[in-house]
């Protein structure tokens, strides 16, 4: 009997955890990401409009280049 009640309690606890914590947390995270993306798009559009108003054409962001290999690094040691 005790084992059955304990199993029901664990099932109820798992249900509460999933539906009151995990699912709402996922939804909030998804909504915040969507809002951040919308805000970034809006800021980009404002920037482009401002640049167009001043007669400047916005440049494409430069592509990141891989750092060139300058050889082996030798640590400095002071000689007395």
Residue 73 lies in a domain: no
**Diameter of the chain measured on Cα atoms:** 82
By mean pLDDT, which of 23-27, 28-32, 38-42, 67-71 is the weakest?
Answer: 67-71
In a domain, 6, yes or no: no
Count up the domains in the chain and report the number. 1
In this prediction, what percent of the chain has a pLDDT beyond 70? 84
pLDDT at 63 over 80: no
Cα 26 to Cα 13: distance, rounded to the nearest angstrom? 19
Q: Is the pLDDT of residue 56 over 70?
A: no
Query: What is the pTM for the complete model shown?
Result: 0.52
Question: Which carries the bigger pLDDT value, residue 54 or residue 67?
Answer: 54
Token pair in block for residue 10: 């664990």
Residue 35 lies in a domain: yes
């Amino acid at each position: 009997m005790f084992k059955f009640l304990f199993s029901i309690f664990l099932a109820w606890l798992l249900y509460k955890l999933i539906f009151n914590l995990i699912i709402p947390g996922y939804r909030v995270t998804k909504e915040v990401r969507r809002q951040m993306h919308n805000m970034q798009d809006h800021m980009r559009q404002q920037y482009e409009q401002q640049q167009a108003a001043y007669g400047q054409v916005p440049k494409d962001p430069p592509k990141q280049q891989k750092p060139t290999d300058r050889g082996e690094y030798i640590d400095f040691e002071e000689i007395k």
